[in-house]
Amino acid sequence: MLSLSTAITISGHRNHHHHHHHRHPFTHHALTHLPPSPQSKTHKSKTLTLTRTKIKAIDAAQPYDRESKLSSQIPKSITLKIAIIGFGNFGQFLAKTLVRQGHTVLAHSRADYSSRAAALGVAYYSNADDLCEEHPEVILLCTSILSTDKVLKSLPLQRLKRSTLFVDVLSVKEFAKDVFLQILPKDFDILCTHPMFGPESGKNSWKDLTFVYDKVRIGNEESRVARCENFLKCFEREGCLMREMTCAEHDMHAAESQFITHTVGRILEKFGLDSTPINTKGYESLLDLVENTSSDSFELYYGLFMYNKNAMEQLERLDLAFESLKKELFGKLHEALRKQMFGTKEQGLLKLPLNGNGTSLPSESDSSSTN
């Protein structure tokens, strides 16, 4: 926006017509003289005085301009164009933060989430071909474990740039790694990740929540390395605890933590755990566990079991641990009953069982005295 200040003074005569004509903005070579008007021929020479033209430049961007607000979050040089495939609860959960950070987010899903996408500031594409022709830098798979193979094969990979970065957020990592390596051409980059949180546990903040990743296949070019780092910074910027480990290491640890957590939560759900007027803190934790795990689909739980080779071992260990605990309890119970019935050698019999007539059975001493 330009601010223009001018003044034109003609001694002895003011040329109103010419003054009106030149009220438009001047350039740096603005008027040096005025052509004489017909009337000026009858007058003596006129003197023209022009003040210096002052031009002030101000920023035309408005303070509430959406683009300027977004760019203030992170430098424009590290923003990404990210396409989310699978725009269910978890995809929307991630999209909200990615948009807030200033990234351009696209989405595609089997169901129609166009209205929800618009509300989040996400461009929604019902056709995968149209989305891929937008050439996103990152393809972020937020599909279920069971549908990953099918969804990946259905994407028109030929419409993408050959160096596109593919990222997954599945709860099982060796399976995701194998699927990516089998289906994706070798030119595509691969980053396997697992945010160890979801819409419930991360609804208020991602600070101090764990994010696991494995750079399975990243090109050596500086731009591709930088792109991978910029994507990881999406989570680092939110305060996540970044943990780099192999997919195999992740699955081993996840079977001991995530799968067991889901299993215990679902057992308690079937048990019918209810709140009481005298809940302890520990009991409240169990109720929270049931709520967090039951909100996830059984398909997710089945995927944790089916596609993590360590899950069966953990399930068997859990079963053995429960049996061991029952034996320990019943052993203590049996010991207590024996003490009640027979006492100890030092104390003698504390109480004898009743016979059929309702009287105590005679002791050995009573029997010997009658003989």
Structure tokens at 14: 């003011």
Nearest to 34 by CA among 44, 49, 24: 49
Are 213 and 228 in contact, with CB atoms under 8 Å apart? Answer: no
- For 17, residues 6+ apart whose C-beta sits below 8 A from its C-beta are 37
Residuewise pLDDT in 10s, the chain (371 residues):
444 444 444 344 444 444 444 444 444 444 444 444 444 444 444 444 444 544 444 444 443 344 444 444 577 778 999 999 999 999 999 999 999 999 999 999 999 999 999 999 999 999 999 999 999 999 999 999 999 999 999 999 999 999 999 999 999 999 999 999 999 999 999 999 999 999 988 999 999 999 999 999 999 999 999 999 999 999 999 999 999 999 999 999 999 899 999 999 999 999 999 999 999 999 999 999 999 888 888 998 999 999 999 999 999 999 999 999 999 999 998 888 888 888 765 455 455 555 555 565 565 555 555 55
Are 143 and 151 in contact, with CB atoms under 8 Å apart? Answer: yes
Which helix or strand (DSSP H or E) is residue 329 part of?
Answer: helix 311-342
| Phi/psi of residue 108, nearest 5 degrees | -145, 140
pTM confidence score: 0.68
CA 31 to mean position of chain CA atoms:
62
Neighbours of 98 (CB within 10 A): 22
Rounded to whole angstroms, the Cα distance separating 130 from 108 reads 10
Neighbours of 208 (CB within 10 A): 9
One DSSP character per residue, 231-242 reads HHHHHHTTT-EE
